Structure 1
């Protein structure tokens, strides 16, 4: 639905009217992630499967029914940075309607606002325990400009370039835009703040609440609803910029609505200490968004605990479109265009049941907890593999068990390590669980270590039983590991089972709605055998529950990767942002060596190189050859278990060659230096290196960020300078963070050896939660710029900026 220029002008005018209100006391719980994405709604559809999908943030005790006591007692953590806020906040999920008719769930995250708004002299109070409410209407098909309820729901198209400032077609509006949004879509809902003082709910989940008389976001409460609670508002940031836009209907709400008019939000009160809200109301006059400006909240804020929080309940057992496109929206939700009645679905499948998000560990295995990685060597050195798609606790445990090891440790979401003893100074002494904050690559509801932290599993008598289905129905992308990963595109693939050259025995168990997990298990645990567990997403869009396939094979006879036909292994070489092989490339999470060789052969190239377990590069010559340690740096595995390069490392193959790989290699990783290295790329005048500084989940510099496989200190500093910032930090070789002052307690000095990663040109690139800092000292002495127009990622913290000057506030 397109709105007239006059209506858009009215929306702009309403935003201007709201401008004087932005200075009200408020805090923003920025970058709040979903705790679960599923088809449950304990307010509207209690005790049963809900009508459509929701993104739910907050307490991990969310389930299909609600009571204040149950939510607060069942929630062991929350994705909100205040541990005492076990409330749940949810909105309908938003899908990308692909051109082939399938649907993909788009990533989203929340900013949650608590605002002290009211008429002069009003007493503002915390929401009462047990309060639930709904704002917006999933069945709304028109917009009433005079309705506070309609005004409270809107969309903002984000474009931080400023190219569309003042353009009515880009102004805040009540429905989806008819064009793409370069920096994402912000869907927002403002809840009514006037309570009748009696009922915690009502039949329509709205009548016990009311918007103020004067405006939906401020003013005096009506006499029928005299109790003025603190205003709650949230923004859901949706990464529409990651997908193509092909006209109206590209974006679809989970209930099938292509207009966006049916966007809505639900709130279920779960604060275990409402006194903290009272302190915000009464004792924090300077709170202007930043939680640190309210002492009572700052004292309990715990970003690490929020990052480590995992859902521990049940979710609907169905594919949801996060790991693979689905042919229909979950539930009875056909595409619903225009203003007419919602279409029916006479052939709707029966409602699915619920399944546990947290699967039990394999028999005999126990979770020891979170431990610190070894300091002089790896804690577990017996065997290892990496799986950026399907890693779970059980796939790692199965891998280690079948190698005969008693310990299994998972790190950085996707790395599995095995051993019988802990080495390198590591021990079974556990640290706080929130230090293991990474979700497993194959199950977002499990924890798989963190930076320099292992989730440690133990089994004193490991067996050889393969794991059961290992990922829940919804398995969204996990926390990224530090690597030169690139988006996966379609490529010719071969299955893991078919690419094993030795005779195999295949045992398959099927289950209808989880990702496929393939286990390649050796017939014995001899030292010479190799075992890899790899996960492959099913090509069937209606199947997203793991089908576990056990493949038993003999180990390869040579230590180097196999190269069938006329292709011969030619060593491990260093890659760079300019690429060693520049002829053609492809990538796939089902990549194998034969697949890459066939691809390059079909393009007429004589060299094939595999990198990062899923990337394939071709050429007829190497732009530059630097041989590196094959065992240490070409260690990642393809989907069939063969070694396929590493981070900036290529497993190289040559067609028609008769030579063997070099027997001596040079490790290219530069040693740690005592001072920041001089970047090979130029940095702006006035900028200097300022050492190594600590970063964290809440980010030391949060003004602007971007990533690039071609990152250099020059690129990062020049970009930050162009955005008006005086400080830049390069992290993990490819991330650039900009800001002025260090924030959120981060930015303190680290020893230089913590910044041990290099950028594409060999310059200083920070490390794991460590940034190589550059700054313009003269600019730092000037007044700090406003960050209002600075780009933030959908999950970035929005502390320090003004509460948006738009109608929603």
Structure 2
């Protein structure tokens, strides 16, 4: 279904509860307090949105709503942090430039493009959204994906980490698990859907994944049951990030063999290592209150702020000062990563599907 048609249907449904909102970009730098806490700089560049208490460590016992003074997200009581790796374009001459981002349709003007965040009780296309789900607890955090994945089989254990080659702002069809192999007129959307079954006890785990699980059978979309080890059904957290690839569509800049030229900030040129990080930080019971309300997107009550106010929180001072290829071409990826088209590649070779 085309996105505009879905919006029309969802907004006319009599009973639904799907939260969809934009977050402006807080900062772009090499920090990762979830995977490499305290390490300055972290191995690769990330783009972060959310509460301005984001820092290199972010101890689990810290109260994010209490530590933050503002958030770049539309819901002003959401001081969570959401982050992903950064996408780069690698030119034929071997130099790199960071791919800018676009805000989703309807959220134009968000600083840095940022990302769109969803919390869903039921599949995105189910406008009823009737299921009862539990909000996360203070201190909760999770990670999804594998930065070492370079094959489809390795990526398969993480359901629904996808790419959409966009012809216009409404494109949502034909998702793939690898980078698109041809130019995308409007941009490339990455969609990251997190697991939805919690063990009900642990707010985190050593790999930041084991306390969460996918349904025992079926999928979130098919209302698959949670396994006995992870019996608590949570909302599905989903990120949408639109990478504005439109200025990189000149075939003269692409590799001579025509292979796709985009690479994640940690060196993956296959796209299979797509991943995301989430640290919960909603104030008090604000998220649960919204999840228990029959609503859709911006009509979901709670305390909301304008894009202009979201943008006032953007531009957090960087801890790591380095050239990350925002306005100019750089000779190598920050952190010195080599481009990998295959698992543990020793040299740069064209990627083939």
Whole-Å Cα distance in 2 between the matches of residues 262 and 76 of structure 1? 33
Aligned match for 2:37, one of 29, 36, 46? 46
Residues 386-409 of structure 1: CA distance to partner in whole angstroms, max 9, x if unpaired?
xxxxxxxxxxxxxxxxxxxxxxxx
Task: Give 1:230 deviation, angstroms.
Answer: 1.5
Aligned match for 1:254, one of 265, 286, 289? 265
Matched, 1:328 2:332: yes
Classify the secondary structure of the residue corresponding to 2:88.
strand
Aligned match for 2:183, one of 180, 185, 189? 180
Q: Is the 8 A contact 2:29 2:318 kept in 1?
A: no
Residues 197-218 of structure 1: CA distance to partner in whole angstroms, max 9, x if unpaired?
1111111110010112220444
Matched, 1:267 2:278: yes
Residue 88 of structure 2: aligned partner: 95
Residue 789 of structure 1: aligned partner: none
The 5 Å alignment of 1:161-176 reads 171-176=174-179
Whole-Å Cα distance in 1 between the matches of residues 309 and 169 of structure 2? 34
Cα RMSD between the aligned structures?
Answer: 2.9
Q: Structure 1 residues 42, 106: CA separation in 2 closer, same or farther (over 3 Å shift)?
A: same
Q: Structure 1 residues 241, 229: CA separation in 2 closer, same or farther (over 3 Å shift)?
A: same
Q: Is the 8 A contact 1:134 1:264 kept in 2?
A: yes
Task: Give 1:329 deviation, angstroms.
Answer: 0.3
Whole-Å Cα distance in 2 between the matches of residues 176 and 301 of structure 1? 34
Residue 156 of structure 1: aligned partner: 164
Task: Give 1:105 deviation, angstroms.
Answer: 0.7
Matched, 1:291 2:298: yes
Residues 635-672 of structure 1: CA distance to partner in whole angstroms, max 9, x if unpaired?
xxxxxxxxxxxxxxxxxxxxxxxxxxxxxxxxxxxxxx
Q: Structure 1 residues 219, 230: CA separation in 2 closer, same or farther (over 3 Å shift)?
A: same
- For structure 1, which runs of at least 5 residues remain unmatched after alignment? 1-11, 13-19, 345-809
Whole-Å Cα distance in 1 between the matches of residues 181 and 242 of structure 2? 18
Residue 138 of structure 2: aligned partner: 129
Q: Is the 8 A contact 2:63 2:281 kept in 1?
A: no
Residue 225 of structure 2: aligned partner: 220
Classify the secondary structure of the residue corresponding to 2:292.
helix
Task: Give 1:75 deviation, angstroms.
Answer: 1.9
Aligned match for 1:315, one of 309, 315, 319? 319
Task: Give 1:61 deviation, angstroms.
Answer: 1.4
Whole-Å Cα distance in 2 between the matches of residues 121 and 161 of structure 1? 29
Q: Is the 8 A contact 1:122 1:220 kept in 2?
A: no
Whole-Å Cα distance in 2 between the matches of residues 140 and 195 of structure 1? 24
Q: Structure 1 residues 145, 205: CA separation in 2 closer, same or farther (over 3 Å shift)?
A: closer
Q: Taking structure 1 as the reference length, what is the TM-score of the superposition?
A: 0.36
Whole-Å Cα distance in 1 between the matches of residues 334 and 308 of structure 2? 33
Task: Give 1:241 deviation, angstroms.
Answer: 1.0
Whole-Å Cα distance in 2 between the matches of residues 53 and 146 of structure 1? 21
Residue 616 of structure 1: aligned partner: none
Q: Structure 1 residues 234, 121: CA separation in 2 closer, same or farther (over 3 Å shift)?
A: closer
Q: Is the 8 A contact 1:124 1:229 kept in 2?
A: yes
The 5 Å alignment of 1:517-596 reads none
Select the structure with the greater relative contact order (CA < 8 A; seq sep ≥ 6).
2
Task: Give 1:238 deviation, angstroms.
Answer: 0.3
Q: Is the 8 A contact 2:145 2:155 kept in 1?
A: no
Task: Give 1:121 deviation, angstroms.
Answer: 8.6
- For structure 2, which runs of at least 5 residues remain unmatched after alignment? 2-8, 102-113, 124-128, 348-353
Classify the secondary structure of the residue corresponding to 1:181.
coil
Q: Is the 8 A contact 1:143 1:150 kept in 2?
A: no
Matched, 1:231 2:231: no
Q: Structure 1 residues 343, 36: CA separation in 2 closer, same or farther (over 3 Å shift)?
A: farther
Task: Give 1:276 deviation, angstroms.
Answer: 2.1
Whole-Å Cα distance in 2 between the matches of residues 249 and 64 of structure 1? 33
Residue 113 of structure 1: aligned partner: 118
Q: Structure 1 residues 179, 121: CA separation in 2 closer, same or farther (over 3 Å shift)?
A: closer
Task: Give 1:227 deviation, angstroms.
Answer: 1.3
Q: Taking structure 2 as the reference length, what is the TM-score of the superposition?
A: 0.80
The 5 Å alignment of 1:764-775 reads none
Whole-Å Cα distance in 1 between the matches of residues 181 and 131 of structure 2? 41
